[in-house]
Amino acid sequence: MSKGKMYDPYQGFKQINEMWAGIMNIPTKKDIANVANLSIQAERKIDILEEQMLKLQDNLGALNKESLELFQEMVKLVKQLQVDFQKTVHEVTELKRMKDDFQELRKDLVDIKIIQVNFRDVREELEEIKESQTKMMNMNNLEEQKTDLQEVKLGLGQLAEIKNEIASLKGLVVKDSLRGKTKEKELVTTV
């Protein structure tokens, strides 16, 4: 025999046993060891997968919690926007009412200015009549007095017409003021 190799009877028996096990389809120690190794490796991989699944579950739970909080904030924001929109709509309607009221007031002011102009014209005519009266008193001439009297009659006729116009304007102003007062009452009752 050679120096490096020694005959091992157990080795030969092992080979014959493996050969018969292969023919009879029976597992050997080596096969069982391999299966045990594979089983241990599978358990390790399953443990790793379980850890990863737990981490994923934790992450999903955190994401779900964040999503829920975000959704709640969005719901609050939408509700606040609805309230703000309703306030804006209410304010717009109030502004429209105020605009209409201001337009009516503007019309009334124009009517008042017209009346003021008519009063000014009446005053001027009255002053002219007074001046004409003083002129009449100073006149010695009958003919001049007659012509002045005719002018005065014409002036008095014009004055009567102006008075009639003023009376009709006063009637319009009274109607407009009564209408304005009823609108003010409506505004007070609506507010």
Q: How far is CA 52 from the centre of its chain?
A: 48
pLDDT in tens, 136-169: 677 656 666 677 678 888 888 888 888 888 888 8
**Per-domain residue ranges of the chain:** 11-190
pLDDT at 3 > cutoff 60: no
pLDDT score at 154: 84
Which residue, among 156, 96, 88, 98, has the nearest Cα to 125 in the 3D structure? 156
Between 88 and 32, the more confident residue is 88
pLDDT score at 1: 44
pLDDT in tens, 54-101: 999 999 888 889 999 999 999 999 999 999 999 999 999 999 999 998
Q: CA-to-CA distance for 60 and 90, rounded, in angstroms?
A: 45
> What is the average pLDDT value for the chain, to the nearest integer?
82
- Do the Cβ atoms of 173 and 112 come closer than 8 Å? yes
